[in-house]
Structure 1
Amino acid sequence: MSITVKDVAKKAGVATSTVSRVINDHPSISEETKRKVRKVMEELGYVPNVAARNLGKQQASSIGVILPPLNSKERLGNPFYLETIEAINEEASLFQMSVAVASAPNFETLLKNVKRMHLQKQIDGFILTYSDNHDPVIDYLYANKIAFTLIGQPYMHEEKIVFVDNDNQLLGKQATEFLIQRGHQRILFATNTTRENLYFERYFGYQKALMMAGLTTYPAVKFEEPTDFIDFEEILHKIKPTALVVIDDLFAMRIMQLATMYGYRVPEDLSVISFNNSIFSTLTHPYITSIDVDVARLGKLATQKLMDQINHQLTDGIKVIVPHKLIIRETVIENEETN
């Protein structure tokens, strides 16, 4: 026996027309009523006739999630993107929306994929999971007035783009301050990306914390070419840092392996702090001290703001900041040199 709109309406104690409006996410229905009806739909296992719904609304009932070019093992293995997709998918299901993923090894192919999804009317709107300063995809979305939400901070048109982000400059500042408070003075910033906005913001925060403490700031240690990994040993020998701020947990694991190979112990010789608080932070000992960016909330809010655009409830740019939290583990200790 199949579940009907009438069954849902009866159990929820509302009119069948109300259930239909909830299915179509009509703005005339309160959020409280929508939540109640959607909960009943889930309990009864009711699945709306998506084809009929789409015909009436002229919508695809699908969200496109755009990943950055997956051109390295770090990018392919970074759990941030999988966790983000999971959060988006979970929130999208509450709106009876499906999720499609756009990915490619380079920007040229990625743009082609996004164009095809849009022109074939497969997608009602997009969520960009990154912010790159040479990204043709965001230029295409913006120029064609396509509904999209950015997870990250845009490089241009900040006042017109809907974006959800952490305060990455504050993250970089607080991570560095945590090291300074524990007596560290020679602190380096290590990264394997220099195009994404989160790198600039976190590095600015690192610089700000050191400048405010009257300590030396150093150029970011960038790992983009194979020789950079070899040069890292010379940098460690020359500067003799006691601590590192690393762009994310996955790369922090790589840096810790390198440091060990070069004869440095973590945390005895080098303290390490990173960002994201992903599964990699507790895969091997020592567990990594990391700042949790609340990926689930980033994905959830990005989806909600995209739906607001799709349903014409949001027409102007808006900035939503998600709080973060420091998770103290084993890779940061007091620097005995200054004690």
Structure 2
Amino acid sequence: MAVTIKDVASAAGVAPSTVSRVIADHPRISPATKKRVKKAMKDMGYHPNVNARSLANRSTQAIGVVMSSSADKALQNPFFPEVLRGISAIAHSLDYSMLLSTGGTDEEMLEGVERMVYGNRVDGIILLYSQINDPVMNFLLEKEFPFTMIGKPFDRVDEITHVDNDNIRGGKEITNHLIELGHDRIAFIGGSTDLVVTLDRLKGYQVALQEAGLPIREDYRVHTEFLKSGGRDAVHQLFSLENPPTGIVIADDLMTIGVINMLEEFGMLVPENISIVSFNNVYLAEVTRPPLTTVDIHIYELGSQAAKCLIEKVRNKDEPAKRIIVPFNIKHRLSTQRNETL
């Protein structure tokens, strides 16, 4: 038998009307009561507005956006405000509002998405990431809930509408830029290997080295967070090696800022002592010293295309899955120079 509001109220020791107010996030309900009621709901497996027919017929005129880390970390990276700007512009033009969900763990992210879906808070969801074995993606597929993804799905690619760059080709081309400048000791700093974007950019880097007849060294690979602090940590690892790199491919501009700052503490200058290339072309890339040579992935366009695809899918349940590839280009600036150590 399905769990009802009365069952939850009884378990939490409150009136059914109080449960309804907790669901509606009423400001007059105390935090302690909200916590007790939400725990009862979770323990009993109760979700409001779970009726599938209601979900199919009612429109909230809202879309959900999910970031793969807590807000305090994610919003440190200029990628996210820019992609949200692209999503917001399309949503606003089509009379949709936007609900943002974050989480420090997979469990927290899934709980946030379940609240949006079961609570009938949004018509569809955009995932601002793609990772291996993602419980959020699996949940949305299971519920047949409209969603799109920025990034290439790890599997079931033909079933999922996604907007992406050709990150393998981007990784190869930006690595070739260093090879053409005479660098033969080239390191790679990337994010988590659970993220498909990291795997694709790493693959492009490796393909470029292989085609140039250069060795792929495991000690030249560092994986850390897409944050300034992650870049700083990576420098410690790479420059404690007996033969440190003369060039570095970095999978994110914000990490690159951390790398440059840490290199200065080591008494090394970019590009005089080491050449650096990066990805994303966020606003920091142009104003940092030196300005970064980076792959411009057109972040705003990724966001706007994802929003367009999602709203098309919301309005037409039979809309087929699409793969949209946003072209990239390389911005050549001053963070690289010819290797004179040969």
Q: Into which bin does the TM-score normalised by the smaller protein fall? A: 0.7 to 0.9
SS at 2:130 equivalent: coil
Tell me which residue corresponds to 2:43.
Answer: none
Q: Identify the range of structure 1 (158-167 vs 184-193) with the bigger mean alpha-carbon deviation.
A: 184-193
Per-residue Cα deviation, 1:173-203 (whole angstroms, up to 9, x for no partner):
0110111111111100012432211100000
TM-score, with length taken from structure 1? 0.78
Please give the alpha-carbon distance, in whole angstroms, between the structure 2 residues aligned to 1:200 and 1:284. 27
Aligned length: 283
1:58-207 pair list within 5 angstroms: 58-70=58-70, 73=73, 75-207=74-206
Q: Does 1:289 align with 2:289?
A: no
Shift of residue 71, structure 1, vs aligned partner: 7.7
Please give the alpha-carbon distance, in whole angstroms, between the structure 1 residues aligned to 2:230 and 2:288. 26
Shift of residue 247, structure 1, vs aligned partner: 1.0
Please give the alpha-carbon distance, in whole angstroms, between the structure 2 residues aligned to 1:235 and 1:102. 35
Shift of residue 124, structure 1, vs aligned partner: 0.3
SS at 1:239 equivalent: coil
Tell me which residue corresponds to 2:265.
Answer: 261
Q: Does 1:328 align with 2:326?
A: no
Per-residue Cα deviation, 1:55-87 (whole angstroms, up to 9, x for no partner):
xx62111110111122874x3401111111111
In 1, are the aligned partners of 2:231 and 2:258 still within 8 Å (CA)? no
Please give the alpha-carbon distance, in whole angstroms, between the structure 1 residues aligned to 2:318 and 2:78. 30
Tell me which residue corresponds to 1:316.
Answer: 320
In 2, are the aligned partners of 1:176 and 1:206 still within 8 Å (CA)? yes
Letter of the structure 2 residue corresponding to residue 67 of structure 1: M
Tell me which residue corresponds to 2:302.
Answer: 298
In 2, are the aligned partners of 1:176 and 1:245 still within 8 Å (CA)? yes
Q: Identify the range of structure 1 (279-288 vs 147-156) with the bigger mean alpha-carbon deviation.
A: 279-288
In 2, are the aligned partners of 1:242 and 1:269 still within 8 Å (CA)? yes
Tell me which residue corresponds to 2:35.
Answer: none
Please give the alpha-carbon distance, in whole angstroms, between the structure 2 residues aligned to 1:165 and 1:231. 27
Change (3 A) 1:65 1:155: same
Per-residue Cα deviation, 1:196-229 (whole angstroms, up to 9, x for no partner):
11100000000000100111122222236x9996
Letter of the structure 2 residue corresponding to residue 221 of structure 1: V
In 2, are the aligned partners of 1:191 and 1:246 still within 8 Å (CA)? yes
Tell me which residue corresponds to 1:27.
Answer: none
TM-score, with length taken from structure 2? 0.77
Per-residue Cα deviation, 1:157-187 (whole angstroms, up to 9, x for no partner):
1110101000011111011011111111110
Tell me which residue corresponds to 1:244.
Answer: 248
Please give the alpha-carbon distance, in whole angstroms, between the structure 2 residues aligned to 1:250 and 1:302. 23
Change (3 A) 1:89 1:244: same
Tell me which residue corresponds to 1:48.
Answer: none
Letter of the structure 1 residue corresponding to residue 339 of structure 2: N
In 2, are the aligned partners of 1:277 and 1:291 still within 8 Å (CA)? yes
Please give the alpha-carbon distance, in whole angstroms, between the structure 2 residues aligned to 1:334 and 1:155. 37
Change (3 A) 1:296 1:230: closer
In 2, are the aligned partners of 1:308 and 1:314 still within 8 Å (CA)? no
Change (3 A) 1:185 1:152: same
Shift of residue 234, structure 1, vs aligned partner: 5.5
Change (3 A) 1:125 1:253: same
Q: Identify the range of structure 1 (101-110 vs 179-188) with the bigger mean alpha-carbon deviation.
A: 101-110
1:12-51 pair list within 5 angstroms: none
Shift of residue 88, structure 1, vs aligned partner: 0.4
Change (3 A) 1:83 1:201: same
Please give the alpha-carbon distance, in whole angstroms, between the structure 2 residues aligned to 1:227 and 1:318. 34
Please give the alpha-carbon distance, in whole angstroms, between the structure 2 residues aligned to 1:232 and 1:321. 32
Shift of residue 294, structure 1, vs aligned partner: 0.5
RMSD, matched Cα? 2.4
Tell me which residue corresponds to 1:221.
Answer: 222
Please give the alpha-carbon distance, in whole angstroms, between the structure 2 residues aligned to 1:137 and 1:110. 7
Please give the alpha-carbon distance, in whole angstroms, between the structure 2 residues aligned to 1:122 and 1:148. 14
Q: Does 1:235 align with 2:238?
A: yes
Please give the alpha-carbon distance, in whole angstroms, between the structure 1 residues aligned to 2:233 and 2:91. 45
List gaps (5 residues or longer) in structure 1. 1-53
Change (3 A) 1:166 1:230: closer
Please give the alpha-carbon distance, in whole angstroms, between the structure 1 residues aligned to 2:262 and 2:191. 14
In 2, are the aligned partners of 1:192 and 1:251 still within 8 Å (CA)? no
Change (3 A) 1:263 1:139: same
